[in-house]
Each structure stands twice: as structure tokens, then as C-alpha cells.
Amino acid sequence: MIEVKNINKSFKGEQVLFDISSKFEKGKVNLIIGQSGQGKSVLAKCIVGLHEIDGGGQILFDGNDFTSMNGDDKTAIRQQIGMLFQGAALFDSLTVEENVMFPLTMFTNMTKKEMKIRADFCLDRVNLHDKNKLFPSECSGGMQKRIGIARAISMNPKYLFCDEPNSGLDPITAIRIDALIKDITYDLGITTIVITHDMNSVIEVGDHILFIYKGKNWWEGDNKTILTTDNPEINNFVYASDFMKEIKANMQAKK
Amino acid sequence: MKSLAAIGKYFIMLQIIFRRPKKWSIFWRSFINEIQLIGVNSIPIVILMSSFMGGVIALQTASNMDSPLLPSYTVGYITQSSTILEFSPTIISLILAGKIGSNIASEIGSMRITEQIDALEIMGVNSLNHLILPKIIAAFAFFPVLVIFSMFMSLIGGYITLIVSDLTSTEVYVMGIRSFFEVGNVYYALTKTIVFGFLIVSVSSFFGYYVKGGALDVGRSSTKAVVASSISILIANFLLTQMILL
């Protein structure tokens, strides 16, 4: 479980996160949602330590305070984190297989054969067979995202972060990626945090949803309560399109 | 004030770079790769520049040799001393600052804007050490080789030019090259080269690593990297000459 307590973050005097607290439970797909520019990615980057938080807050990984750890302890926690970046962030100079094997090469004493077996397993998990020798530039956007997931799970992480996993993907591929994240979370029993503003993902995989608005924890719930809440900002977000407005009207008519 | 902050940040970066690599096997693989990229791939431009510059130095010296009091081997001597003392270590380093510096800044800058560096950091990898240390060590190892190569090619260029132009004979040119030859000058040149190689790689890496924004900013940082490493080479050249030769 990951718990954040009183997270504040400013950039050059401008505060972007205001006193955010929340719990992201193990074995659940936790979503951080909100409009663009509200601080979702900043919060995620604070949690994984890419941004230092302002004083006073705490980030707890299974009860261990990440913010007060020394460098070595932070590195140990980071080795338990898998992250899928918005653009996949695959290493251009390495093949698909080498990308997946990279964390293993760096942090384990596995033999090359063992690493290859593990890489094949992870690539199988994301339905990528026989693509080992391709370079990232030879793969489609959806494939790159799946390779990113394979790399993220190669070290058997306890925590998985996905930054807008569906951005730039067609609806079918996006649904596949959502299903994959959900399956991996349930099968491996890991704590997953997904940053998204894709409503389809919210409905499909949102076991726990944190809605960020103007840098604040505005609302928390799940994929069922989000559709029925009377919070105006949530409703503006969820029912932004005419299509969703129509669904809401139908739901209210049925009531 | 901004420049002072950047200099401070540069030295903090160096402190993080010079740490023990996490895995030596990965380090040596990257090192061999960098030898290829930084060193071996620079050989053609070094051959081209050095042979032509050697030819021009020899021709200009020969064309200005009006006084009968000057011995005929002076052309060879001046070609040798200008090549060893200044042309090969400094001018070749300035050329390599353009070629290698822009390459390094754009490579690392692209990794930054595509979040590849963030990916390394999240995995718990010291990205500065992982990306930049092999480049610096490769520069330490291969820049002297390039400069020795440049010295040789420059003297060959001078020789071919003088022989083809019928301005001197092989014996006189070789005698000129051997006259007043000091091994200390070669050491001085190689010392300068190692410092210049370090400056090119570290300064360019600095501009690439801390780039913010998009493709346009990567382009700008590449230009800044070349300008800053060239200026640092010129300053270091002045300081090293003061310290070693005087």
C-alpha cells in the first residue's frame, strides 16, 4: 500500500499541489484523474521521488517513510517500483528484449539465459511474441506501451505506476492496455497507480479514484460512485461530452 | 548570477558522475560503445582536417621564407612545432567539440525529453554515472590517440604538399621535423588533449542532461554545448600553457 500525507509542491513559488492525502491500496487499480494541468503527473512524480515535495508531507510505501529515507534506502524502494511512462520511455539504442532485460542486468545476478527466460515471460504477459529483436522505433505506439509494461514488471515490482497509459492509442488498443494493467494488478497483487483522464479507463478499471482539482484532493471514490456523485466539478469532468451527458440524462430518466 | 548557479550545478553533476559504476560489465560495454562513437567515428574528420591543415602550414611557412639566413629545414621544423604545440591538441579539440559535443548534448537531451532519464532514475540507476562516466573515460582514453594520429597526418600532409609543390626535399623536411624536437612538447599536447576531452564531454553532457522542454530546446542546448565547450577549451588552453610551458 502507498499512503501520501499532506503533500504540498511548489515550482518557483507557484504552488501546484495543496495538502494532498490519500491511500492507494494493494491489489487494486488506483486512478488519479483530473483535467490537464491540475497536478496529477506532479503528484505521481512526487510519489516516485522524481520531484522533491515541500516540507511537512509524507509518502509511505507499506508504512516506510520514503521522504525521510537516505539515498540507498530510496534506491531499494525504487527497485520495487515499475513505471510505464506516457511515451513509454524505452531506450532507443536497445532492442525490445534488451529493454525488458535492462533492470535485470542492472540489479540482479541472473545469468543471460535466466534473464532471457524472464524477458520472454514478461513479453508473453503483454502478448508480444517474437518481437524480441525489434528496436522501439520499429514498434507501434500500442506495442511500445506494452513493452513499457513488460519492462515495468520484469523485476516483479510491488508498486506499478502508469502515466496516461492510453494517451495516443485507438480505443481497442486502449481497452487492451487497461485490461492488461488490471490483470497484472490482480494476478501479482501489486499496488497500481494510474494517472489518466480517459473516462473509459475510469469506468473499466477504477477500483479507487482520486480526483485532483486545482491541485487539491477534491473527491475520492470508485468507478460506481463517480457516476452518481453530485460533486459539480466531477460531473463537469465525467459528463464533459454530449455523449456522456446523454447517458446521464438516460440514467436520470430511468430513475 | 545564473551563470554562477550553472557552474555550481556543473560541479555537483561531476561529483555524482564520478562514483563507482553499479555493474562493471555494463560500464565496460558502454565504454567500448563510446570508444566507437566518440573515437573511431572521429578518425575520418581528423584525417581530413589534419592533412589539409598540415599542408597549409607547410605552404604558408615556405612562402614566407624569403631570408637566405634561415636554414632550409625551417619549414619542417615550424610545421612540426605548430602541429604538436597548438594545431593538433587545440584546433582538433575545437573541431571535435563541434562534432562530439553537439552529438552528446542532443543524445542526452533527447533522452531527457522522452523521459528515458526519468525511467533510469525510477529504476534506481544513477543516470549521470550510467550515461556520462563511460563517455568521459572513453574521451580520456581515445582523445590522445586521435591527437597523435592528427600530428602524424598533419606532418604527412605537410610533406606531400611540399614535395608535390617542389618546395623542399624529403631529407630536408625530415631534418626539419627532427630539429629541436622535444618529447616534453608531446606530453604537453597530450595533457592538454585529456583536459579538452574531459571538458567537451562533461560540458556537453551538462547541457543535454538539464535540458527542459521539447525538440527545439534540445537543438538550442546542442548549440549552447558547442559554444560553452569551445570557450572552456580556449580558457583551459591559456591556463595550461601558462602552467606547463612558462
Q: Residue A197: which CATH number?
A: 3.40.50.300
> What domain range is A15 assigned to?
1-80+158-166+190-255
- Tens digit of pLDDT for each residue in A188-216? 899 999 999 888 888 888 899 999 999 99
Would you call A106 and B122 a contact, using CB atoms and an 8 Å cutoff? Answer: no
Is the pLDDT at B127 greater than 90, yes or no?
yes
- Contact status, residue B224 vs residue B207, Cβ threshold 8 Å: yes
Q: How sure is the predictor about A62, in pLDDT bands with cuts at 50, 70 and 90?
A: very high
A30–chain B nearest CA distance, Å: 19
CB atoms within 10 A of CB A226: 23
Alpha helices in chain A (DSSP H): 40-48, 71-78, 96-107, 112-125, 141-153, 171-188, 199-205, 225-228, 232-238, 242-254
Please give the pLDDT value at position B147.
Answer: 94
- What residues in B contact A103, CB-CB < 8 Å? 123
Is the pLDDT at A251 greater than 80, yes or no?
no
- Tens digit of pLDDT for each residue in B79-99? 999 999 999 999 999 999 999
- Tens digit of pLDDT for each residue in B131-174? 999 999 999 999 999 999 999 999 999 999 999 988 888 899 99
- Tens digit of pLDDT for each residue in B164-221? 988 888 899 999 989 888 899 999 999 999 999 999 999 999 999 999 989 999 999 9
Is the pLDDT at B223 greater than 90, yes or no?
yes
Please give the pLDDT value at position A44.
Answer: 92
Give the dihedral sign, CA B232/B237/B242/B243: positive
The residues pairing with A212 across neighbouring beta strands, listed in sequence order, are A217
Would you call B115 and A85 a contact, using CB atoms and an 8 Å cutoff? Answer: yes
CA proximity to A135, closest of A182, A185, A80, A88: A88
Q: Residue A100 domain-assigned?
A: no
- Report ipTM (2 d.p.): 0.84
Cα R_g (chain B), whole angstroms: 21
What φ, ψ does residue A70 adopt, rounded to 5°? -80, 175
Q: Residue A21 domain-assigned?
A: yes
B223–chain A nearest CA distance, Å: 23
What φ, ψ does residue A8 adopt, rounded to 5°? -120, 140
Stated as kind and residue range, the H or E segment containing A195 is strand A191-196
d(CA B34, CA B136): 9
d(CA B172, CA B159): 10
Model's pTM, two decimal places? 0.86
Please give the pLDDT value at position A32.
Answer: 94
Please give the pLDDT value at position B161.
Answer: 93
A92–chain B nearest CA distance, Å: 9
- Contact status, residue A201 vs residue A25, Cβ threshold 8 Å: no
- Tens digit of pLDDT for each residue in A210-225? 999 999 999 999 988 9
Number of domains in chain A: 1
Return left, alpha or beta for A110; rule: phi > 0 is left, psi -120 to 50 is alpha, else beta: beta
In the numeric block, the cell 525511467 is attached to: B119
The interface residues of chain A toward chain B in range 77-106, judged by CB-CB distance below 8 A, are 78-79, 81, 83, 85-87, 89-92, 102-103, 105-106
Q: How sure is the predictor about A253, in pLDDT bands with cuts at 50, 70 and 90?
A: confident
Q: How sure is the predictor about B18, in pLDDT bands with cuts at 50, 70 and 90?
A: very high
Between A167 and A95, whose confidence is greater?
Answer: A95
Would you call A92 and B26 a contact, using CB atoms and an 8 Å cutoff? Answer: no
The answer to whether B36 contacts chain A (CB < 8 Å) is: no
The answer to whether B217 contacts chain A (CB < 8 Å) is: no
* In chain B, domain spans: 31-245
Please give the pLDDT value at position B111.
Answer: 95
